[in-house]
Amino acid sequence: MIRAVLFDFGGVIAEEGFYRGLLAIAEESGLQPDAFFRIAEDLIHSTGYVTGRSTEAAYWAALREKTGITWTDAHLREQILSRFVVRPEMLSLADRLRASGRNASILSDQTDWLDELDRRSPFSSHFDRVYNSYHLHKSKRDEGIFTDVCSGLGVQPAEALFVDDNAGNIARAARQGLLTIQFTDMPQFMRTLASVGLSAVTAFF
């Protein structure tokens, strides 16, 4: 029986603002978008910003040094934050899961931007817990995060369903014994939820 559902934020609860924002920055800077994204994604981990061990200013400085971009911190962050658009149907689903007696929580590799996004467009009240790598000082690249979160929720890994759009995160969670769904779009997601025994909470979508 699934007792807890863990949702990624960007790409699941909301549109993927980090990826889309970085592509926009690359395009306005005349850089190859995919190569720019790979550099930016690597740096958010290697600088320690995503695990709360560095600052936003240090991250942008490192990205400027690597790529030659010249935009201000404020411009760069807005290109990303403005593209995280929360999906109302995901909030409704979280509400239905909780009403059914299950735990609905967020497990996201995010920076302090997640706190800012919650202030702009509140979403956290729809979830039991928000596990953010920035505050945990551990990201989903560390497989231990999955068992840590399950322990904190008081469930066994086999009783937890993890939903993410990133194949690497899905593979790491599955190796730790969690049930997983790789999110691609809402119709696929709802069909898969029904197939793992959660048809009751998807009935009205």
User: Is 34:96 a contact under the CB 8 Å cutoff?
Assistant: no
User: Is 146:162 a contact under the CB 8 Å cutoff?
Assistant: yes
Could you give the CA distance from residue 91 to residue 125 in angstroms, rounded to a whole number? 9
**In this predicted structure, what is the pLDDT of residue 102?**
97
Could you give the CA distance from residue 9 to residue 68 in angstroms, rounded to a whole number? 29
Predicted model pTM? 0.95
**In this predicted structure, what is the pLDDT of residue 201?**
83
Q: Which residues contact 157 (CB under 8 A, 6 or more apart)?
A: 146, 147, 150, 176, 177, 178
**Nearest CA-CA partner of 48 in 136, 168, 161, 175:** 136
Q: Mean pLDDT, 10 residues at a time, over the chain (205 residues)?
A: 97 97 98 97 98 98 97 98 97 96 98 98 97 98 97 98 98 98 94 88 72
Could you give the CA distance from residue 152 to residue 86 in angstroms, rounded to a whole number? 26
